Amino acid sequence: MSRQYKLVSCTINGKQAEKMVDVRASLTDMLRDDFRLTSVKKGCEVGECGACNVIIDGECFNSCIYLAIWADGKEILTLEGLAGPDGELSDIQQAFIDETAVQCGFCTPGFIMSAAALLNAGREFTDDEIRRQMSGHLCRCTGYENIFRAVKKTMLRRLGKEKEAEEV
């Protein structure tokens, strides 16, 4: 079978990018292999674990079951693009540190990207809604407890509810 390649041009972490990619390649493979964005993790490669999640045009996707060629014309954000230009952390990254929501760290990039997408909605979610929204990710280290705290506290703080955040 001869290989077919196609030009993908997209924005990755705010920068314009162009690459010839194998039409069968996943977005995970393109981001990891061609752009060396290794925060995009492979835990199952079939959309079960969420370790590869990235934000595409504002919405979070499993990049392992998203073809690289579909990224043409899209804006992609990976964890590497979430911190500021001088390495200053976003609130959700800082919350993951403060709430001890990080252990082995392998699921962390995907979780933070989903949390970032959730927080960008700018509204308050119930506990059940947060759990449902984050349930596309698997983690074996944390029992999800501290991740829950990090997400909920950041959500409340963005809504100016500092006191409620302290009580989470």
Q: Which of 53, 62, 63, 108 touches other proteins by CB under 8 A?
A: 108
Torsion of CA 103, 107, 109, 111, to 10 degrees: -100
**Tokens for 112?**
């933070």
Q: Which of 10, 67, 118, 137 touches other proteins by CB under 8 A?
A: 137
Min separation Cβ 30 and other proteins, Å: 13
**Residue ranges in 2-21 that form contacts with other proteins under rule CB under 8 A:** none
Nearer to other proteins, 10 or 54 (CB): 54
Q: Which of 10, 12, 30, 37 touches other proteins by CB under 8 A?
A: 37
Q: Does 142 bind other proteins (CB under 8 A)?
A: yes
Q: Does 30 bind other proteins (CB under 8 A)?
A: no
| SS3 track for the chain | CCCCEEEEEEEECCEEEEEEEECCCEHHHHHHHHCCCCCCCCCCCCCCCCCCEEEECCEEEEHHHCEHHHHCCCEEECHHHCCCCCCCCCHHHHHHHHCCCCCCCCCHHHHHHHHHHHHHCCCCCCHHHHHHHHCCCCCCCCCCHHHHHHHHHHHHHHCCCHHHHHCC
**Residue ranges in 66-105 that form contacts with other proteins under rule CB under 8 A:** 78-80, 82-83, 87, 89, 93-94, 96-97, 100-105
Q: Which of 6, 42, 158, 161 touches other proteins by CB under 8 A?
A: 42
Q: What residue ranges bind other proteins (CB under 8 A)?
A: 24, 33, 37-39, 41-46, 48-49, 51, 78-80, 82-83, 87, 89, 93-94, 96-97, 100-109, 112, 131-132, 134-135, 137-148
